[in-house]
C-alpha cells in the first residue's frame, strides 16, 4: 500500500491506496494559524509533526495488520512557507506562511536588485513567496538570520523529521523564487541577491523520484519497515494535479480550498509574470504548469458562516432557494480578505460588500460570497487566456468541490465545462500517495489515471447575461474605487 500525506494550511490529511489504486483509508487532523500582527500568518512546525504522528496512529489502528504493507510515502504541502533552521536543525522561529503579506517592501527591493528575476523565476516577487520573507527576516530579525543554516518548505520539514534528509522537489521549490524554473535548479544569482547560497538550500529531486527512506527510529515508532521510500512529493497544487490526472499539456483544474487556484499543465516553461500568473515546475519530469492564484476562496465562505452563525451546508441550502431577481440584485462581494495575487498582486487589497440594502438577508449575502470568489477565478482565467492558454474544461477539486451549486455557478461564470470527480476533495493526499507509487517504479500511465467522473456541469446560457453584467461591476470596483482598498 501507499501513504499520501498532505500538509495543508488548516489540516494535515492522510490517505492510503492499495495496490490497485483504490483508496482504503482517509483521515485528517486540524491545524491552527497564528496571526500575532496584521498581515502576519504563522504556524509552528512542531504542530505539523504532532498532527502527522496523530494521523499515522489513527490510520494504523484503522488498517490493523494491513498497515505494515505500506511500501512508499508521498508528500504534498502548502507552498512558499519559510521554515528556518539553525546548525543543529532546530526551528528558529514560527514558519512564515504563504498567505503572510508582511513583506511588500522587500518584494520591491528584490525586483530592483535582481532585474533578471522574472526570466529566471518566472514570477513576480510577491509577499507570499519565500525569498522576500527571508529578506524581511534579515532586516527585522537579524539575530535569527545570523543563526540561519537551512531554509525548508513546510512539507520538506516533515521529510526531515521522517528521514533525517534535507531534500525538496522542483514544483514546491519553484514557489520560493530561488529556482531557475526552466533549468529546474537553484539560481545562484537570485540566492546571492538574498544573502544566501546553495549551502542553505536542500537537495533537489523530481516529485516522482525516491528522495530517501524512513529513519529507523521513525519507522519503528510508526510500525513500518525502514525500507519505506519517501517520494520527492510536491507543492499542493501540483500534487492535486497528480490526484486528478492532470499530467498532460492542456489538462486543467480549479481548486477551491483556503486559496483558489486555476491550474493548467504545459509541456514547456511559459512565464507570464506581467499578469501575476505563476509559472512553476510540475511534480513530474519535463513538465511545467501555469497557475492563477487568489488568496481567499473557500476561506471566504468559512469566514462568512462563522460571522453569521450558520453551517456551510445550511447556508448553501438557503442560497439554492433564491430566485433570479434576488441574485441579480445581491451586493457585489470582493473576496480580497488576505490581499490578492492574480491578477492584481496587491497585498493591501481588501474585501467588501458593495450595494447593500435592507433586502440583503443571510442567504443573499452568502450568494454574493460564492459569486465573488467565482469572479476572482474568472479574473484568473481571463489573464491565462491573455497569455495564450485556452481552456474548454476544468476539473474541480478541494472542499468547494462538494457543492453542486458552486460547481454550476463556476460553469456559468467561466463559460467552460466543470467536472467533479469521486473523491475530488482528497486531491492533494491522493496525488501524494500516487507519487509514492511512482517512486517505487509503478508506471505513470497506470498510476495517474483521471478519477471517475461524478458529474459534468455545462454553462447555462440563461444565466450568462446577468452574471457578466455583475462581473463587469466586480472588476470596476477594484479598478476605479480606491476608497475600498487599504493603503
For the cut 70, the answer to whether the pLDDT of residue 308 exceeds it is: yes
**The three cell numbers locating residue 60:** 494504523
SS3 per-residue string spanning the chain:
CEEEEEECCCEEEEEEECCCCCEEEEEEEECCCECCCCCCCEECHHHHHHHHHHHHHHHHHHHHHHHHHCCEEEEEECCCCEEEECCCCCECCCEECCCCCCCHHHHHHHHHHCCCHHHHHCCCCCCCCHHHHHHHHHHHCHHHHHHCCEEECHHHHHHHHHHCCCEEEHHHHHHHCCEECCCCEECHHHHHHCCCCHHHCCEEECCCCEEEECCHHHHHHHCCCCCCEEECCEEHHHHHHHHCCCCCCCCEEEEECCCEEEEEEECCCCCEHHHCEEEEECCCCCCEEEEEEECCCHHHHHHHHHHHCCCHHHHHHHHCCCCHHHHHCCCEEECCECEECCCCCECCCCCEEECCCCCCCHHHHHHHHHHHHHHHHHHHHHHHHHCCCCCCEEEEECHHHHCHHHHHHHHHHHCCEEEEECCHHHHHHHHHHHHHHHHCCCCHHHHCCCCCEEEEECCCHHHHHHHHHHHHHHHHHHHHCHHHCCC
Establish whether 140 is an annotated binding residue.
Answer: no
- Mean pLDDT over 335-357 rounds to 91
**The three cell numbers locating residue 395:** 476539473
For the cut 50, the answer to whether the pLDDT of residue 6 exceeds it is: yes
The matching CATH number, chosen from 3.40.50.300, 3.30.360.10, 3.30.420.40, 3.40.50.261, for 2-237 is: 3.30.420.40
**Every domain of the chain and the residues it spans:** 2-237
Give the pLDDT score at 372.
Answer: 97
Give the pLDDT score at 222.
Answer: 98
Q: Is 306 exposed, middle or buried (0-12, 13-18, 19+ CB in 10 A)?
A: exposed
Give the pLDDT score at 331.
Answer: 97
For the cut 60, the answer to whether the pLDDT of residue 118 exceeds it is: yes
Strands 260-266 and 288-294: antiparallel
**Structural contact between residues 389 and 290, judged by C-beta atoms closer than 8 angstroms:** yes
Give the pLDDT score at 224.
Answer: 97
**pLDDT tens sequence across 191-250:** 999 999 999 999 999 999 999 999 999 999 999 999 999 999 999 989 999 998 999 999
How far apart, in whole angstroms, are the C-alpha atoms of residue 296 and residue 329?
Answer: 24
pLDDT-derived band at 487, boundaries 50, 70, 90: very low
pLDDT-derived band at 276, boundaries 50, 70, 90: confident
**The three cell numbers locating residue 210:** 525516491
**pLDDT tens sequence across 180-196:** 999 999 999 999 999 99
pLDDT-derived band at 33, boundaries 50, 70, 90: very high
Terminal Cα distance for the chain, rounded? 52
Active-site residue set: 236
Closest CA to 319 of 237, 252, 202, 406: 406
Give the pLDDT score at 234.
Answer: 98
pLDDT-derived band at 482, boundaries 50, 70, 90: low
How far apart, in whole angstroms, are the C-alpha atoms of residue 98 and residue 127?
Answer: 8
For the cut 90, the answer to whether the pLDDT of residue 402 exceeds it is: no
Least confident among 15-29, 310-324, 336-350, 461-475: 336-350
How far apart, in whole angstroms, are the C-alpha atoms of residue 397 and residue 424?
Answer: 5
Give the pLDDT score at 422.
Answer: 81
Give the pLDDT score at 338.
Answer: 87
**pLDDT tens sequence across 38-96:** 999 999 999 999 999 999 999 999 999 999 999 999 999 999 999 999 999 999 999 99
pLDDT-derived band at 271, boundaries 50, 70, 90: confident
For the cut 90, the answer to whether the pLDDT of residue 389 exceeds it is: no
Q: What is the mean pLDDT of the chain?
A: 94
Establish whether 324 is an annotated binding residue.
Answer: no
Give the pLDDT score at 486.
Answer: 47
**pLDDT tens sequence across 421-462:** 886 666 789 999 999 999 999 999 999 998 888 999 999 988
- Mean pLDDT over 282-311 rounds to 94
The percent of residues in the chain predicted with pLDDT above 70, rounded, is 98
Calculate helix-pair angle for 130-140, 104-113, nearest 10 degrees: 100
Q: How many C-beta atoms surround the C-beta of residue 246 within 10 A?
A: 27
Closest CA to 110 of 83, 134, 87: 134
Amino acid at each position: 500500500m501507499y501513504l499520501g500525506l498532505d500538509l495543508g494550511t488548516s489540516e494535515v490529511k492522510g490517505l492510503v491506496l492499495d495496490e490497485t489504486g483504490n483508496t482504503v483509508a482517509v483521515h485528517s487532523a486540524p491545524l491552527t494559524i497564528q496571526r500575532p500582527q496584521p498581515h502576519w500568518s504563522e504556524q509552528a512546525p512542531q504542530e505539523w509533526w504532532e498532527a502527522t504522528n496523530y494521523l499515522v496512529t489513527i490510520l494504523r489502528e484503522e488498517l490493523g495488520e494491513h498497515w505494515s504493507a505500506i511500501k512508499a510515502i508521498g508528500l504534498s504541502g502548502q507552498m512558499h512557507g519559510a521554515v528556518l533552521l539553525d546548525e543543529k536543525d532546530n526551528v528558529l522561529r514560527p514558519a512564515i506562511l504563504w498567505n503572510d503579506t508582511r513583506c511588500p517592501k522587500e518584494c520591491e527591493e528584490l525586483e530592483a536588485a535582481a532585474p533578471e528575476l522574472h526570466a529566471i523565476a518566472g514570477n513576480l516577487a510577491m509577499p507570499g513567496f519565500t525569498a522576500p520573507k527571508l529578506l524581511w527576516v534579515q532586516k527585522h530579525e537579524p539575530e535569527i538570520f545570523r543563526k540561519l543554516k537551512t531554509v525548508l518548505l513546510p512539507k520538506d520539514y516533515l521529510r526531515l523529521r521522517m528521514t533525517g534528509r534535507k531534500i525538496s522537489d522542483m514544483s514546491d521549490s519553484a514557489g520560493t523564487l530561488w529556482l531557475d524554473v526552466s533549468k529546474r535548479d537553484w539560481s545562484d544569482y537570485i540566492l546571492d541577491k538574498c544573502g544566501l547560497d546553495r549551502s542553505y538550500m536542500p537537495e533537489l529531486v523530481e516529485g516522482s523520484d525516491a528522495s530517501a527512506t524512513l529513519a529507523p527510529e521513525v519507522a519503528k515508532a510508526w510500525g513500518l519497515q525502514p525500507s519505506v521510500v519517501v517520494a520527492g512529493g510536491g507543492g499542493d497544487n501540483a500534487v492535486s494535479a497528480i490526484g486528478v490526472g492532470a499530467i498532460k499539456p492542456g489538462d486543467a483544474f480549479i481548486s477551491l480550498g483556503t486559496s483558489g487556484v486555476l491550474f493548467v499543465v504545459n509541456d514547456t516553461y511559459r512565464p507570464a509574470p506581467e499578469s501575476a500568473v505563476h509559472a512553476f515546475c510540475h511534480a513530474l519530469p519535463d513538465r511545467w504548469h501555469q497557475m492563477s492564484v487568489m488568496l481567499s476562496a473557500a476561506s471566504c465562505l468559512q469566514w462568512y458562516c462563522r460571522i453569521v452563525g450558520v453551517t456551510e451546508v445550511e447556508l448553501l441550502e438557503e442560497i439554492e432557494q433564491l430566485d433570479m431577481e434576488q441574485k441579480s440584485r445581491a451586493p457585489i462581494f470582493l473576496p480580497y480578505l488576505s490581499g490578492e495575487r492574480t491578477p492584481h498582486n496587491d497585498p493591501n487589497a481588501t474585501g467588501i460588500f458593495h450595494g447593500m440594502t435592507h433586502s440583503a438577508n443571510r442567504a443573499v449575502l452568502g450568494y454574493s460570497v460564492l459569486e465573488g470568489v467565482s469572479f476572482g477565478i474568472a479574473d484568473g482565467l481571463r489573464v491565462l487566456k491573455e497569455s495564450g492558454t485556452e481552456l474548454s474544461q476544468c476539473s474541480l477539486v478541494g472542499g468547494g468541490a462538494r457543492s453542486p451549486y458552486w460547481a454550476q455557478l463556476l460553469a456559468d461564470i467561466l463559460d467552460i465545462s466543470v467536472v467533479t470527480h469521486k473523491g475530488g476533495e482528497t486531491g492533494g493526499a491522493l496525488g501524494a500517495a500516487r507519487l509514492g507509487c511512482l517512486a517505487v517504479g509503478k508506471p505513470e500511465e497506470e498510476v495517474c489515471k483521471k478519477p471517475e467522473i461524478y458529474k459534468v456541469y455545462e454553462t447555462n446560457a440563461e444565466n450568462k447575461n446577468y452574471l457578466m453584467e455583475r462581473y463587469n461591476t466586480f472588476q470596476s470596483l477594484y479598478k476605479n474605487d480606491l476608497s475600498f482598498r487599504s493603503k
